[in-house]
Amino acid sequence: MRILIINGPNINFIGIREKQIYGDEGFAKLLKMLEQKAKEEGIEIETFQSNGEGEIIDRIQKAYFEEMDGIIINPGAYTHYSYAICDALASVEMPKIEVHISNVHKREEFRHVSVTAPACTGQIVGLGLDGYLYALEAIKSMISKQK
């Protein structure tokens, strides 16, 4: 089972930016947590981070050709306005889970709407870095049920 984990703009700056929202744990900690969880679950993961919309779209399309089994994505601010990322997600037939570290529904009004979530199987918000771990468990379960 191969899962792609995509992180969008500024996610690489968690632990540095707005600690009151995103916490003190940095991006390296997130990657280590994901590697450990993947090992425990017997899942092969690839992590990808980009601040560029086109690079994220290219990586989603590449996941299709690589026959990845699923995608976990935190589109960052692109969540709220990137119809191009939404279209890319909609074009690949595999389980997809959108993750947000903070509870976007408790934040600024513009963050309450995700244009990318409709192209995903599910969404996890507000559970900190652990949300990624829950997403790994959920996507593993979804993929196992398909086989």
Residue tagged active-site, from 22, 78, 80, 112: 22
**Residue of 51, 53, 72, 50 whose CA lies nearest to 63:** 72
Residue tagged active-site, from 100, 105, 112, 134: 100
Supply the Cα-derived Rg of the chain in whole angstroms: 14
Taking the CA atoms of 106, 110, 113 and 114 in sequence, report the sign of the dihedral they define. Answer: negative
CB 143 within 8 A of CB 95: yes
Active site (annotated) includes residue 100: yes
> Active-site residue numbers?
22, 100
